[in-house]
Chain A
């Protein structure tokens, strides 16, 4: 297969390494060192896609990150599909499979293009705001049609086989961009001994020098690049990251770098390698040496394949040995653009004309072109291009000195390539990310980085310094400044001598006039990817969308995957012109991360699947798994939910677990409850302030239940706290609330009551906690301990230090089931041992493990609340009917006391937690059901409160429920109704929430 546009020699490609790739199912050849774009151009592929709105054929226009058109679908298999790959940034590899992302049935014969041509006139910006409104019901249909045209590439439908990494970095100097300025800065900083990271989005360091024929010290510039790269490689504190885009610059000098580790090898990472890696960098100083992007000019039909940015044409010739056409017309507003014609001429192809918009250009490159006898047409512009799938010719006409009008007759020239240069836009994106506003500069006709609070320096093209000598000097200066700020001694760096080229003044011109008005002329594209035209921008302004943000949003300019790198300044200039104001008056353009798009996978890194959030296991987790537990997520914990036996339904299992517990003995792994060790002479007083009830008299060896409220008086956690010593307590919290409670305690201690001597420490993970509950629990425990378990010596709400199964244990006689219960706490690594011993001895008592669900049932039978299920942050203790747990007489105004006395908290008819007994004993009200007093009331029905907890109680033979009812504590015996989604209504009677053993005898035996 021939590469008709490939030069015989030159460029940085390796002609000995041929690579095969496919595009839209057809096979082509390229070389090692090509990008997908350069290989496509080498093969003479003109049309690489269709435009989004008008379905016009599009070709490659640029050579880097700014490319708007060549957005491809990549991937040989379903799982390795990559949507929206910029061909100009994708290195070619053998076997690469690519396809265009739009076009039906294909890009060359696209039927939508016909629609685009006819309908295009009906589709000015914002057309959809003005139509598709009637009838209302049909918008969904219209939208369906619009959505069919949406999107560029497609998502894979199978899971990504690759892995991604994240790595944290710290450095003295982070240098963004490895062109002349960046390399000079890096060399300077590295020689001074600084820790340096230098990153560049390209495969090779060198930046603009890779694409030019410039000489440094009389030798090819890349020789200097090689020398510097070699030197940098020799420093242990220098990290060089090619193929790495600094995509975000965040506050306090934090930057993110997206490194593509294997994208250049294959669409799937080789075994054992990560596909991409995010570097999270904290840098003391940052040097932005990001260069500049050349602006194309805006003229009629400037999107026909063959229209390219001038510098990109040079890049393809010099770096890739590809001349993307035969007959070139160059249009330029500046001297630099001439270089492309010179390069084209050097490549042996025909320069049809250089069309300079300036009347009297006169710099060194202009002279060089004239000396070669190239046809230089001054004071003129290419006002229109002919051709559809490839440029066939151009219309050239003289224009006025201000560039606003065509002043003479049109000359038609035959050409297949139009390169244009409208000057350069500094790549200021990163400097904007931290909120710095760019500043317009008339001299360079572009925006420069604005003032910033970051420790940021800039060098080279980003400052509008485009010649290599200036870029090198600025790089050196930035490097020296950074090292001196860090406190290192300046280094000695001798810069290579760069050729100085005398340049004439550029013309400030963006939009080329046409014979017709902008709206009547053939389309003049500003933002290719979103099909935004000069006429569209003018229309937006005419309609009153005058702020540049309005213009952008109304036309979608700059919202593509290229984020307007080529088009935004042109668009602003066009808007400014219509509005008769300057560009800076029209607004600035604020860039946000990402500089270029990055895969979600890379950002997510390893934190997916089981590593999405750590799973916390108790010491007995293995046993639970082995015994078939179903698990419930509680915070990060995996808690056994229930333990089904073969053939059992969930309800069967619960019935069995609950009955076994009430009739003999059950066991619960309660290790996940938060445990906070509290010590200090003021610990007791502190408890009195953070709990609603009294703690002054709790004796050593005793336990007490406490409610914890916020300053608003609303319950937010609860638990049992035990007195371990006069100045020593162990607080338990809900499983999910442990961290929050600890921070709450610390907050009050550290900020409000620092004078109190009290210390808190989390000991949740130090202990394994197992609760044995039921009439036989004492007998069972007695087999494993010498402790005197007699009721009179070890009563309800006592705790004792003892040994269980041969290991030291704290045993608490507390109960969440209402049964005789012992909560055994042992050092976590003994947990499984003790648990298994309990089962060894428990077999004869039918010791039954139960999970959180049976725990819920058992406690609901007793009317015990679960904070977070029966509370929601809007209820105070009195709402819960737990006024008994509030001690209004404590001397210190405990947290929550004042809050629960506010007007709304003491009003009548608040929702209060009550028991609910269904009229049909078999009916279980769904949790979350909303109650009403009048089930026949029309919608919206006045609701009186919802059901918080509701279960079938096998022990009682009827359902038990708790819920809120307006004024419920004063409505005992009244009925409340629960209208369900299926149309049925469950009737219930308001009752005490304590359904079983109201006197509490069972736990006191």
Chain B
């Protein structure tokens, strides 16, 4: 079970309070109508899914309800960094 630091609550809490919400930094296209089906489909469904460092979105669903970003190794499950929405990671996946 992961132990996750919520940057909004300022505490480590158990994974059970959180909910993984997939790849982070997926910006919704500003002009969806300008997207081709392919581009829209890629925004909707296609993912980096790396083995190794992964920037991912989590929500403190049973806590403060805030979303935040986590950089985590998907092989070792180590959390390298936690940062708020809008912030840039300092540990960057390739």
Q: Would B67 and A902 count as touching, CB distance under 8 A?
A: no
Q: Chain B's nearest CB lies how many Å from the CB of A937?
A: 33
The stretch of A200-208, A247-255, A358-366, A922-930 in contact with B is A247-255
CB contact between B21 and one of A280, A711, A742, A747 (< 8 Å): that residue: A747
Q: Give the distance in Å from the alpha carbon of A40 to the alpha carbon of B85 in the complex.
A: 65
Q: Give the distance in Å from the alpha carbon of A893 to the alpha carbon of B31 in the complex.
A: 7
Q: Chain A's nearest CB lies how many Å from the CB of B42?
A: 12
Q: Chain A's nearest CB lies how many Å from the CB of B93?
A: 17
Q: Would B1 and A751 count as touching, CB distance under 8 A?
A: no
B14 within 8 A of A: yes
Q: Would A899 and B44 count as touching, CB distance under 8 A?
A: yes
Asked whether A253 and B67 contact (CB < 8 A) given A743-B19, A893-B33, the answer is no
Question: Closest B-chain residue to A742, C-beta based?
Answer: B65
Question: Closest A-chain residue to B4, C-beta based?
Answer: A252
Q: Chain A's nearest CB lies how many Å from the CB of B87?
A: 12
Q: Would B2 and A743 count as touching, CB distance under 8 A?
A: no
Asked whether A252 and B3 contact (CB < 8 A) given A743-B61, A747-B21, the answer is yes
Q: Chain A's nearest CB lies how many Å from the CB of B90?
A: 19
CB contact between B44 and one of A712, A743, A752 (< 8 Å): that residue: A712
A606 within 8 A of B: no
B83 within 8 A of A: no
Q: Chain B's nearest CB lies how many Å from the CB of A906?
A: 10
CB contact between B57 and one of A250, A711, A712, A751 (< 8 Å): that residue: A751
Question: Closest A-chain residue to B68, C-beta based?
Answer: A750
Q: Chain A's nearest CB lies how many Å from the CB of B11?
A: 12
Query: Which residues of B are found within 8 Å of A742, using beta-carbon distances?
Result: 65
Chain B 29-56, CB-CB to A under 8 Å as 1, else 0, gives 0011101010011011000000000000
Q: Chain A's nearest CB lies how many Å from the CB of B49?
A: 19
A903 within 8 A of B: yes
Q: Would B3 and A254 count as touching, CB distance under 8 A?
A: yes
A453 within 8 A of B: yes
Query: Which residues of B are found within 8 Å of A746, using beta-carbon distances?
Result: 59, 65-67
Question: Closest A-chain residue to B59, C-beta based?
Answer: A743
Query: Which residues of B are found within 8 Å of A754, using beta-carbon distances?
Result: 85-86
Asked whether A902 and B77 contact (CB < 8 A) given A254-B1, A743-B19, the answer is no
Q: Give the distance in Å from the alpha carbon of A719 to the alpha carbon of B35 in the complex.
A: 30
Q: Chain A's nearest CB lies how many Å from the CB of B28?
A: 5
Asked whether A251 and B44 contact (CB < 8 A) given A282-B14, A750-B85, A751-B67, the answer is no
Question: Closest A-chain residue to B69, C-beta based?
Answer: A751
Query: Which residues of B are found within 8 Å of A254, using beta-carbon distances?
Result: 1, 3
Q: Chain A's nearest CB lies how many Å from the CB of B63?
A: 12
Q: Give the distance in Å from the alpha carbon of A435 to the alpha carbon of B76 in the complex.
A: 7
Question: Closest B-chain residue to A250, C-beta based?
Answer: B1
Question: Closest B-chain residue to A747, C-beta based?
Answer: B67
Q: Would B41 and A902 count as touching, CB distance under 8 A?
A: yes
Q: Would B37 and A750 count as touching, CB distance under 8 A?
A: no
B17 within 8 A of A: no
Asked whether A898 and B14 contact (CB < 8 A) given A251-B2, A746-B65, the answer is no
A897 within 8 A of B: yes
Instruction: Please report which residues of chain B, range 63-94, place their CB below 8 angstroms from some CB of chain A when the two chains form the complex.
Output: 65-67, 75-79, 85-86
Query: Which residues of B are found within 8 Å of A712, using beta-carbon distances?
Result: 44
Count, chain B residues at interface, CB 8 A:
30
Question: Closest A-chain residue to B76, C-beta based?
Answer: A453
Query: Which residues of B are found within 8 Å of A251, using beta-carbon distances?
Result: 1-2, 77
Q: Give the distance in Å from the alpha carbon of A779 to the alpha carbon of B76 in the complex.
A: 67
Asked whether A898 and B35 contact (CB < 8 A) given A251-B77, A711-B44, A750-B66, the answer is yes
Query: Which residues of B are found within 8 Å of A902, using beta-carbon distances?
Result: 37, 40-41
Question: What class of interface size applies to chain A in its complex with B?
Answer: 20 to 34
Question: Closest B-chain residue to A750, C-beta based?
Answer: B67
Q: Would B65 and A898 count as touching, CB distance under 8 A?
A: no
Query: Which residues of A are found within 8 Å of B33, using beta-carbon distances?
Result: 893, 897-898, 901
Q: Chain A's nearest CB lies how many Å from the CB of B51?
A: 13
Query: Which residues of A are found within 8 Å of B75, using beta-carbon distances?
Result: 435
Instruction: Please report which residues of chain A, range 370-410, place their CB below 8 angstroms from some CB of chain B when the two chains form the complex.
Output: none
Q: Give the distance in Å from the alpha carbon of A435 to the alpha carbon of B1 in the complex.
A: 13
Q: Give the distance in Å from the alpha carbon of A300 to the alpha carbon of B67 in the complex.
A: 63
Query: Which residues of A are found within 8 Å of B37, using beta-carbon distances?
Result: 902-903
Q: Chain A's nearest CB lies how many Å from the CB of B62?
A: 10
Question: Closest A-chain residue to B79, C-beta based?
Answer: A252
Q: Would B21 and A453 count as touching, CB distance under 8 A?
A: no
Q: Would B59 and A747 count as touching, CB distance under 8 A?
A: yes
Asked whether A453 and B78 contact (CB < 8 A) given A282-B14, A893-B31, A899-B44, the answer is yes
Query: Which residues of A are found within 8 Å of B85, using beta-carbon distances?
Result: 750-751, 754
Q: Give the distance in Å from the alpha carbon of A104 to the alpha carbon of B70 in the complex.
A: 59
Query: Which residues of B are found within 8 Å of A898, using beta-carbon distances?
Result: 32-33, 35, 40
Asked whether A253 and B3 contact (CB < 8 A) given A435-B76, A750-B66, the answer is yes
Q: Chain B's nearest CB lies how many Å from the CB of A582?
A: 27
Instruction: Please report which residues of chain A, range 520-551, place their CB below 8 angstroms from some CB of chain B when the two chains form the complex.
Output: none
Instruction: Please report which residues of chain A, range 727-760, place their CB below 8 angstroms from some CB of chain B when the two chains form the complex.
Output: 742-743, 746-747, 750-752, 754
Chain A 698-742, CB-CB to B under 8 Å as 1, else 0, gives 000000000000011000000000000000000000000000001
Q: Give the distance in Å from the alpha carbon of A746 to the alpha carbon of B8 in the complex.
A: 14
Query: Which residues of B are found within 8 Å of A252, using beta-carbon distances?
Result: 1-3, 77, 79
Q: Chain A's nearest CB lies how many Å from the CB of B64?
A: 10
Question: Closest A-chain residue to B78, C-beta based?
Answer: A453
Query: Which residues of A are found within 8 Å of B77, using beta-carbon distances?
Result: 251-252, 434-435, 453
Query: Which residues of A are found within 8 Å of B41, using beta-carbon distances?
Result: 902
Instruction: Please report which residues of chain A, range 426-446, place their CB below 8 angstroms from some CB of chain B when the two chains form the complex.
Output: 434-435
Q: Chain B's nearest CB lies how many Å from the CB of A471?
A: 30
Chain A 893-915, CB-CB to B under 8 Å as 1, else 0, gives 10001110111000000000000
Q: Chain B's nearest CB lies how many Å from the CB of A486?
A: 15
Query: Which residues of A are found within 8 Å of B31, using beta-carbon distances?
Result: 893
Query: Which residues of B are found within 8 Å of A747, using beta-carbon distances?
Result: 21, 59, 67
Q: List 14 A-B contacts (CB under 8 A).
A: A251-B1, A435-B76, A743-B19, A746-B65, A750-B67, A751-B57, A751-B67, A754-B85, A893-B32, A898-B35, A898-B40, A899-B40, A899-B44, A902-B41
For the complex of A and B, 3 pairs with smallest distance between CB atoms = A898-B32, A252-B3, A893-B32
